[in-house]
Amino acid sequence: DISKAIKDGIMEAAIDQQPYLQGYLPVVFLTEYARYGVIPANNINTGPGFVTKKNIGLVEKLAGEYR
């Protein structure tokens, strides 16, 4: 398991993508465009995030939750 490997020092880091955000934001932006003709000014960074020993506890806590 990736969490255990990070905690045990077998892995330095892993990449945490944001699939919810990657699916949610396009719907929001398309709705804003359809209703108001507004488009984002720049690229929107939806991640990735890096999981390390420093933040593995928080990532485990939030994994699977609505965020």
- pTM of the predicted structure, to 2 decimals: 0.66
Both tokens assigned to 47 = 């991640």
Instruction: Specify if 57 maps to a domain.
Output: yes
**Per-position pLDDT tens, the chain of length 67:** 899 999 999 999 999 888 888 999 999 999 999 999 999 989 998 888 999 999 999 999 988 776 5
Other CB atoms within a 10 A radius of the CB of residue 51 amount to 21
**Spacing of C-alpha 44 from chain mean position:** 12
Instruction: Specify if 35 maps to a domain.
Output: yes
Both tokens assigned to 5 = 């490997």
Express the helix, strand and coil content of the chain in percent, nearest 5 each.
45, 10, 45
Instruction: Specify if 44 maps to a domain.
Output: yes
pLDDT at residue 67, as a whole number: 54
Query: What is the domain count for the chain?
Result: 1
pLDDT at residue 66, as a whole number: 66
